[in-house]
Amino acid sequence: MPNNDSINGPRLLEREDGLPPASPGLRLIVQGGERIYSGPPDVRSLLEARGENPAYVNVRLNGEVLNRRDFEKITLREGDKVDFLYFMGGGVV
Amino acid sequence: MFNLSEEEIERYSRHIILPEVGGRGQQKLKESSVLVIGAGGLGSPALLYLTAAGIGRIGVIEDDVVDLTNLQRQVLHATPDIGKAKARSAGETLQQINPHVEIDIYQHRLTKENIFDIIAPYDVIVDGVDNFPTRYLLNDACVMKKKTLVEGGILRFMGLIMSIRGGESACYRCVFEEPPPPGTVPSCAEAGVLGAVAGVVGTLQATEVLKILAGIGKPLYNRLLQFDAEELRFHEVKAKRNPGCPVCGKKPTITELVEYDYACETQAPKT
Ligand SMILES: [Zn+2]
């Protein structure tokens, strides 16, 4: 569970490529913590921004578990509540 | 009619002194039966605490053999047990901890053919399995037979716990509808696991079982608790019955047990 909490504010606003964020920021409640993201438009981008492998997690958006095939199609909106549900304990080789 | 002997009253005195447990609660535990699937990473701590707590009858199902790589987390087994059937090793350890507990040993795999018969006599089932096919099989069987299941999973520094009242509260499939595609989620053998994380999750599973049996507090029904050891944080996610759930939803598509086929899964050591 990578964590992007920072007492100095939202770390995700700082893009790795050094470019300014595309939008002023999207306020999301991710894993119970409120954070501003530099507008990840869809669920898949949010997962990537958080360092989560989309294959390992299910996502619950405002109480509904999403279909894993829809990660790219679903656009996040201001104030959305997102929880990650991790697949665990499988002996898959 | 069960009665606690003087020796038992002394043995369980720290339970009995708790007003929420008392003599009646301890008596209930003695009258109860629990089945633990797997005597590995999660099964070890769960079995140790359930046995010490004085559950009347405990079933252990496990077909594996103790291996050196198990000992970092499977605290039910010791170095001299290497090469021994885990079910037997578990039975010996547990009987030493508490001779009052009746231990049933099943030294084989859980399959769709035998699962209903094996789970039938037990009040609560504890999931300590190491693979997705058995995890889904167990969930489906417990939903169909309206059994109470305490789910647990571990990977790396993470753990997950969820209690399920078959057919009443959200089931594993309400949250994780289908297993992940084979090869996408690594096993503990591939990705590793901090041994103590298994201890945390297995112990929480035992705590849930004891609460459920003695009627204490609020079980983790319709709640999924995720544990992150790196940050040392618990994150609770509310879960609810999914009307579209393939096994407990309004129009279930799974009405007979299915066993997913994961190539090579038997090669993965137990979590
Ligand atoms: Zn369900």
Q: Distance (Å, rounded) from C-alpha B43 to C-alpha B201?
A: 10
Amino acid at B267: Q
**Contact with chain B for residue A20, Cβ under 8 A:** no
pLDDT above 90: residue A25: no
The per-residue pLDDT for A37 is 84
The per-residue pLDDT for A5 is 41
The more confident residue out of B166 and A41 is B166
The per-residue pLDDT for B262 is 66
- Note which residues in 145-184 of chain B have CB less than 8 A from chain A: 152-155, 157-160, 174-177, 179-184
- Note which residues in 110-149 of chain B have CB less than 8 A from chain A: 129-132, 135
**Contact with chain A for residue B264, Cβ under 8 A:** yes
**Contact with chain B for residue A65, Cβ under 8 A:** yes
Chain A residue numbers with beta carbons less than 8 Å from the beta carbon of B158 are 1, 86, 88
The more confident residue out of A92 and B158 is B158
- The residues spanned by each domain of chain B are 16-238
CA dihedral B181, B186, B188, B194 (to 10 degrees): -130
- Band the pLDDT of A24: cuts 50, 70, 90: low
Q: Are A37 and A12 in contact (CB under 8 A)?
A: yes
pLDDT tens profile B93-121: 999 999 999 999 999 999 999 999 999 99
Alpha carbon of B178: minimum distance to chain A alpha carbons (Å): 10
pLDDT tens profile A76-91: 998 999 999 988 865 4
ipTM of model: 0.74
Q: Distance (Å, rounded) from C-alpha B222 to C-alpha B168?
A: 9
CATH match for A5-85 among 3.30.360.10, 3.10.20.30, 2.40.280.10, 3.30.300.180 = 3.10.20.30
pLDDT above 50: residue B143: yes
| Residue A36 CA, ligand 1 centroid: distance in Å | 33
pTM summary value? 0.87
pLDDT tens profile B76-95: 999 999 999 999 999 999 99
Q: Distance (Å, rounded) from C-alpha B227 to C-alpha B235?
A: 6
Mean pLDDT score, A46-60: 87
Chain B residue with CA closest to A54: the answer is B184
Least confident of A34-43, A70-79, B19-28, B211-220: A34-43
pLDDT tens profile B185-235: 777 777 889 999 999 999 999 999 999 999 999 999 999 999 999 999 999
pLDDT tens profile B147-166: 999 999 998 899 999 999 99
pLDDT above 70: residue A70: yes
Q: Distance (Å, rounded) from C-alpha A61 to C-alpha B221?
A: 20
Q: Which of B135, B157, B235 lies closest to A89 in CB terms?
A: B135
- The residues spanned by each domain of chain A are 5-85
Amino acid at B175: V
Secondary structure (DSSP) of A32-45: TEEEEES---BHHH
Mean pLDDT score, B45-73: 97
| The CATH number of domain B16-238 is 3.40.50.720 | yes
Chain B residue numbers with beta carbons less than 8 Å from the beta carbon of A69 are none
The per-residue pLDDT for A38 is 79
pLDDT above 80: residue B75: yes
Chain A residue numbers with beta carbons less than 8 Å from the beta carbon of B180 are 55-56, 87, 90, 92
As a whole number of angstroms, the longest Cα–Cα distance in chain A is: 43
Long-range pairs for A2-11: beta carbons < 8 A, 24 or more residues apart? A2/A50, A2/A51, A2/A52, A3/B228, A3/B230, A3/B231, A4/A35, A4/A49, A4/A50, A4/A51, A5/A33, A5/A35, A9/A36, A10/A35, A10/A36, A10/A37
> With DSSP H G I counted as helix, E B as strand and the rest as coil, what are the percentages for chain A, rounded to 5?
15, 25, 60
The per-residue pLDDT for A90 is 52
Mean pLDDT score, B18-38: 97
**Contact with chain B for residue A18, Cβ under 8 A:** no
